[in-house]
Every structure is written in structure tokens, then in C-alpha cells.
Amino acid sequence: MSTPVLAPECVASLRAALASQGYAYLSAFSPDRTGLALLALAGSFGSVYLPPDVDPAHPVLESHPAADASLLAPFDRPEAIGWHNDFSTHADRPALSLAYLARPDPLGPEHGAWRVASCDRVLDQLRATRDGREVIRFLRETDLPYSFTGDGAPSFFRALEPRGSPPGRLGMRLYGRAMRDGARLAYGTIPEEIERAVKAVEGAANQVGHVLAAPAGALLVTDNWHSLHDRLPQCVDPKLSLRCSLLCFVEALHQPLALPNP
Ligand SMILES: [Fe+2]
């Protein structure tokens, strides 16, 4: 099968959206359900990440919603994932996540839709109040425990750190479940200041975020330092033809994302 050719202007407009808001969305990216167009797009951004146990010749994950899906596969579980960016528990995080809707949720557009929020806007929202500014200070200055598996020793990171341009711009590492599980493992309980900070970021994302419909053929690309995303509750009735998304990741960008010259 030949590699799909992507229009340069399509890639350029996605890069511009990623640079300015931390995510890019197309309601009709491609009819290609094989994942080849998605991989071609990923390859145009940078080196494609190879997840463990995935065919290196086709490094695409396919979602299979199920009532009993593992907590380690949040994209397969029925409930909303919650605001997060991907690989929040990895020291070295793939730069971009790409999600493509091969098949929509059978219960209609309010199921399985994406939510997205620009971290710049989330931080602006927090900076508007004294409590929010205190949360930013806490998240910048405190090493916090994270755990994706909810087991073993947590990893410690700052939830906010300088990333990208212009200088001083903050990148975010956030996943409420992983931060709460990390806190339980590290301290035996969730300290009030961690719970308050996670809730404040999630609340700000609720204020500035958007719901994006996920029809067949839709694409969402997220910058893992500069946006948060979520997937709303999805149908897991095995008698129905369930939502299917294809996921792949860009490990490192060929070129930093930058706004085009005015
Ligand atoms: Fe995700």
C-alpha cells in the first residue's frame, strides 16, 4: 500500500494551530482507515514514537472500548478520561499525540467526543485570581509524585516548567488520576494542596476548554506540553459497533513549532 500524500498547506495550517493554541483539529481529515495517512502526518511533524508491543512497521494503537478495560488503557474505558496530557508519567515525553476517528460512537455525537484546552489559556485563567496564582506557584516550585500504574514507586516531576517559546512560557504535565495515585503511593493519602491544585487546573480547563465532535474521519493533534485533552464517556455495549480511534505519537519534532512571521 502506498504512503498517502498530504497537502503541504494542510500540514502548515495544523502546525500553525499547534503553535498558537497547543492543539489542531480537523473534522474531516481523511477517509483512510488504515492509519497510513495518520502515520504520514506524524512523520511530517517528526520521528514517530514506538509504543511497547506495537508493530514497528505500523506503530498505531487502535482503541477497543470495553466495560472491563484495564486502567492502563484509559482510552478503552467507558468513563471520561479526565483532563490530561499524554505521557505525564514519562521523564521524556513524546511531543505530540495524534488521534483519528475511524468509527464514531454508536450512541451519537455527545458520546466519545473530545475536549481540548490550551494550557496558555488555562494558565491565563488561573493568573486572574489570587488563589489561581498560588496554584501556579505551587505547581512550579514543588516536585510532585505521579504514577500511571497506581503501583510501585511514583516518579516526581514539576507539573509546570518552562517550555517552548516565547521564553518564560510554561509547559504542563497533568493527569489527575496519575497525580492522585502518585500522592497515595508517596504519602498514603492525597495532600490537600495537591487535590486543590489539580481541581483548580481542571476547573480552569472546564472554563476555557472546548468540546470537539468526533465524527468518522476527524483528527485531533495535541502538543503534550501546551494543551490538555479529554475523551467524554463512550459506549461499551459489545452488541454495537463501537467507537474506534487510531492513536500515534511523535517522539521529537523535526522543527520546533513556531508561529509564522506576520
Ligand atoms: Fe490522551
Q: Using one digit for the tens of pLDDT, what is the confidence trace for 137-178?
A: 999 999 999 999 999 999 999 999 999 988 999 999 999 999
Q: Which three cell numbers stand for residue 227?
A: 494543551
Where residue 46 sits, what CATH number does that domain have?
3.60.130.10
Does one domain contain both 109 and 144?
no
The per-residue pLDDT of the chain, averaged, comes to 95
pLDDT at residue 260, rounded to an integer:
57
Give per-residue pLDDT as tens, 187-219. 999 999 999 999 999 999 999 999 999 999 999
C-alpha closest to that of 173 among 226, 98, 94: 226
| Domain extent at residue 16 | 12-21+28-118+210-253
pLDDT at residue 165, rounded to an integer:
87
pLDDT at residue 37, rounded to an integer:
95
87 part of a folded domain: yes
CA distances from 99 to 62, 211, 220, 241 (A): 10, 15, 5, 19
pLDDT at residue 143, rounded to an integer:
98
Does one domain contain both 108 and 216?
yes
pLDDT at residue 40, rounded to an integer:
95
pLDDT at residue 259, rounded to an integer:
64
Q: How far is the CA of 85 from the centre of ligand 1 (A)?
A: 6
Q: How far is the CA of 95 from the centre of ligand 1 (A)?
A: 12
Q: How far is the CA of 114 from the centre of ligand 1 (A)?
A: 10
Does one domain contain both 141 and 64?
no
Q: How far is the CA of 262 from the centre of ligand 1 (A)?
A: 32
Cis bond upstream, residue 154 (ω within 30): no
b (16+ CB within 10 A) / e for 88-99: bbeeebbbbbbb
Q: How far is the CA of 261 from the centre of ligand 1 (A)?
A: 31
C-alpha closest to that of 65 among 261, 258, 231: 231
Low-confidence ranges of the chain (pLDDT < 70): 1-3, 259-262
> With contact defined as beta carbons under 8 Å apart, do 113 and 233 qualify?
no
> Can you tell me the distance from the alpha carbon of 42 to that of 216, in angstroms, rounded to the nearest whole number?
19
